[in-house]
């Protein structure tokens, strides 16, 4: 048995570029461009200055609509994920570059090659957040249309990933010989041959193995199918859960599922998204947080939010007064282009009415309270302590920070919270590796013996079997 105290678990942090969601405050006079390269560079350089593991960029494939019209109250529009990440690779040196790419509207051969290219050009810093979609609404922008049944989302995603991995491994580890004396440039290139329910493909990978072998894989779906897919395939889980206890339950569940897939629980990095608001005192932080919430939920956003829950056109409704008197129309679906935000609408509306009555809230105040939660509100000391507590309690391995301001929303965190995490001995004071796998403490996918074909997830247990020495 060890006698010295265990060194504390290390905190992992990523930086989410503020985008198309209710968190981003575009009305603030300090809010900058959502598309100018200087915005992406600023956030990436700030994250790198703070020794974060990675920059994270989400994807959009169709503009959201509400009541048949483009939803115009949040940030609208995004650049192409991979193009931005490749440009950022040129102006950063250590920062991981993670991007969401949909497995439904991309083919295995092309997306595998795109991420391998990012991994080569960044020197081993690429990560793919694999998401799925099945809606015909998004499909209208694609030649294949909305072809996928909802139940087949993860069937498709597994097949795309299985084949992507075969493409990443298609060139042997030493395939690139490039020896001018012998005249051999490349040998040991294998053809991928795959026949499955979603597609049949055949052919060689088109480039050498990339520095990380495989890009780091993120998974973000929270359904049972999504969790199982993540536990089987992902290196990191991008999740959303509020309390420490909920985080512990989620993390324990994912680690247990990973073990059932023949992996070690510690093979997974659990990284919830988290917003934060700082202040010099706790009271000031709370006041700042309240201001941010009312910026995020303007009167128009409050009405739009209630329309989603009520399923009704609420044009002319005054959000500074009480909640709508009408009952919700449970048959309508007025929102297209994003996951449903209100699950059981009748029950939700009933609870909201009780809450609003109990507190004397206006409709907008109710929306402020129920539509978003700020994860960390406090002084830098308090926030550092809370982040540390979550990680030490294995509620997660760290957080993907979601600032509400583009592009300066992370500046204060890096200036004021990162040094305190470093003082606590739970956060790096310099990069010790060059690849994202190294930052995250993940194995190289080819480090150990290849998986047996019994497991879909090409991830043998992290620790070698016990030896009787």
Could you give the angle at which helices 299-310 and 363-370 cross, rounded to 10 degrees? Answer: 80
Given candidates 203, 242, 433, 441, which one binds another protein under the rule CB under 8 A?
203
CB 302 within 8 A of CB 324: no
**Is there binding between residue 105 and another protein (CB under 8 A)?**
yes
Q: Please choose, out of 23-31, 395-403, 442-450, 461-469, the segment that lies near another protein by the rule CB under 8 A.
A: 23-31
**Is there binding between residue 256 and another protein (CB under 8 A)?**
no
Given candidates 113, 261, 286, 290, which one binds another protein under the rule CB under 8 A?
113
- By beta-carbon proximity to another protein, the closer residue of 114 and 239 is 114
**Is there binding between residue 184 and another protein (CB under 8 A)?**
yes
Residues in 53-92 that interact with another protein by CB under 8 A = 60-63, 69-70, 72-80, 82-84, 86-87, 89-91
Rounded to an integer, what is the distance from CA 5 to the centroid of its chain?
33
Q: Shortest CA distance to 418 belongs to which of 384, 394, 373, 458?
A: 384
**What is the β-pairing status of strands 191-195 and 200-204?**
antiparallel
Given candidates 142, 225, 244, 353, which one binds another protein under the rule CB under 8 A?
142
**Is there binding between residue 346 and another protein (CB under 8 A)?**
no
CB of 372 to another protein, least distance (A): 16
End-to-end CA distance of the chain: 17
CA-to-CA dists, residue 426 to 2, 8, 16, 328, 460, angstroms:
20, 6, 21, 48, 28
Residues in 24-53 that interact with another protein by CB under 8 A = 26-27, 31, 34-37, 40-41
- By beta-carbon proximity to another protein, the closer residue of 9 and 113 is 113
Interacting residues of 114 by C-beta distance below 8 A, sequence separation 6+: 82, 101
CB of 14 to another protein, least distance (A): 21
Q: Please choose, out of 9-17, 193-201, 260-268, 392-400, the segment that lies near another protein by the rule CB under 8 A.
A: 193-201
Given candidates 6, 143, 466, 467, which one binds another protein under the rule CB under 8 A?
143
CB 152 within 8 A of CB 161: no
**Is there binding between residue 6 and another protein (CB under 8 A)?**
no
CB of 359 to another protein, least distance (A): 24
Given candidates 22, 23, 132, 301, which one binds another protein under the rule CB under 8 A?
301
Cβ-count burial of 240 within 10 angstroms (0-12 exposed, 13-18 middle, 19+ buried)?
A: middle
Interacting residues of 469 by C-beta distance below 8 A, sequence separation 6+: none
Given candidates 67, 155, 201, 290, which one binds another protein under the rule CB under 8 A?
201
- By beta-carbon proximity to another protein, the closer residue of 44 and 421 is 44
- By beta-carbon proximity to another protein, the closer residue of 40 and 154 is 40
**Alpha-carbon gap, residue 289 to 279, rounded angstroms:** 9
Q: Please choose, out of 204-212, 217-225, 361-369, 449-457, the segment that lies near another protein by the rule CB under 8 A.
A: 204-212
CB of 11 to another protein, least distance (A): 30
**What is the β-pairing status of strands 96-102 and 54-57?**
parallel
Given candidates 186, 339, 346, 389, which one binds another protein under the rule CB under 8 A?
186
Identify the residue whose tokens are 């993907």: 400
Q: Shortest CA distance to 270 belongs to which of 441, 467, 462, 50?
A: 441
Given candidates 110, 320, 347, 354, which one binds another protein under the rule CB under 8 A?
110
- By beta-carbon proximity to another protein, the closer residue of 64 and 444 is 64
Size of residue set near another protein by CB under 8 A: 75
Residues in 355-414 that interact with another protein by CB under 8 A = none
CB 134 within 8 A of CB 226: no
CB of 396 to another protein, least distance (A): 31
- By beta-carbon proximity to another protein, the closer residue of 298 and 322 is 298
Given candidates 154, 171, 399, 427, which one binds another protein under the rule CB under 8 A?
171
- By beta-carbon proximity to another protein, the closer residue of 49 and 120 is 120
Q: What is the 3-state secondary structure (H, E, C) of 134-183?
A: CCHHHHCCCCCCCCCCHHHHHHHHHHHHHHHHHHHCCECCCCEEEECCCC
CA atoms within 13 A on the CB side of 304: 21
Dump strand ranges (E) for 148-289. 176-179, 184-186, 191-195, 200-204, 216-219, 236-239, 269-274, 276-278
**Taking CA 442 as the corner, what is the angle to CA 439 and CA 447, rounded to the nearest 5 degrees?**
125
- By beta-carbon proximity to another protein, the closer residue of 35 and 281 is 35
Given candidates 8, 149, 202, 373, which one binds another protein under the rule CB under 8 A?
202
CB of 263 to another protein, least distance (A): 30
């Amino acid at each position: 048995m060890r006698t010295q105290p265990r060194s504390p678990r290390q905190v992992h942090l990523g930086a989410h570029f503020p985008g198309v969601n209710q968190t981003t405050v575009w009305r603030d006079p300090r809010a900058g461009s959502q598309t100018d390269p200087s915005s992406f560079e600023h956030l990436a350089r700030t994250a790198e200055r703070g020794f974060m593991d990675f920059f994270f960029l989400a994807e959009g494939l169709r503009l959201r609509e509400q009541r048949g019209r483009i939803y115009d109250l949040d940030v609208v529009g995004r650049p192409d994920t991979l193009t931005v990440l490749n440009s950022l690779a040129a102006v950063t040196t250590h920062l991981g570059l993670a991007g969401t790419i949909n497995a439904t509207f991309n083919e295995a051969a092309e997306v595998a090659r795109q991420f391998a290219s990012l991994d080569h050009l960044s020197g081993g810093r690429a990560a793919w957040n694999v998401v799925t979609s099945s809606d015909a609404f998004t499909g209208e922008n694609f030649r294949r249309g909305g072809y996928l049944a909802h139940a087949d989302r993860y069937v498709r995603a597994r097949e795309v990933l299985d084949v992507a991995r075969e493409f990443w491994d298609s060139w042997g580890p030493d395939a690139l010989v490039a020896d001018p004396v012998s005249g051999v440039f490349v040998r040991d290139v294998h053809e991928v041959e795959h026949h499955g329910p979603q597609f049949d493909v055949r052919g060689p990978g088109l480039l050498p193995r990339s520095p990380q072998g495989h890009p780091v894989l993120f998974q973000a779906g929270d359904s049972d199918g999504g969790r199982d897919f993540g536990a089987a395939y992902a290196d990191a889980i991008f999740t959303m859960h509020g309390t420490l206890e909920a985080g512990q339950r989620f993390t324990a569940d994912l680690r247990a599922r990973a073990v059932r897939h023949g992996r070690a629980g510690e093979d997974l990095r659990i990284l919830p998204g988290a917003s934060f608001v700082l202040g010099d005192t706790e009271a000031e932080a709370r006041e700042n947080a309240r201001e941010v919430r009312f910026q995020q939920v303007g009167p128009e956003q409050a009405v739009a939010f209630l329309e989603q829950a009520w399923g009704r056109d609420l044009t002319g409704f005054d959000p500074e007064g009480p909640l709508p008197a009408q009952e919700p129309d449970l048959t309508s679906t007025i929102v297209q282009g994003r996951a449903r935000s209100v699950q059981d609408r009748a029950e939700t509306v009933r609870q909201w009415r009780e809450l609003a009555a109990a507190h004397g809230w206006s409709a907008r105040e109710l929306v402020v309270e129920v539509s978003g939660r700020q994860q960390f509100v406090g002084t830098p000391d308090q926030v550092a302590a809370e982040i540390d507590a979550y990680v030490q309690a294995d509620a997660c391995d760290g957080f993907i920070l979601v600032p509400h301001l583009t592009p300066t929303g992370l500046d204060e965190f890096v200036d004021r919270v990162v040094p305190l995490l470093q003082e606590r001995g739970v956060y790096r004071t310099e990069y010790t590796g060059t690849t994202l796998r190294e930052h995250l403490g993940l194995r190289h996918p080819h480090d150990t013996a290849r998986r047996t074909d019994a497991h879909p997830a090409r991830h043998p247990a992290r620790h070698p079997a016990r030896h009787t020495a």
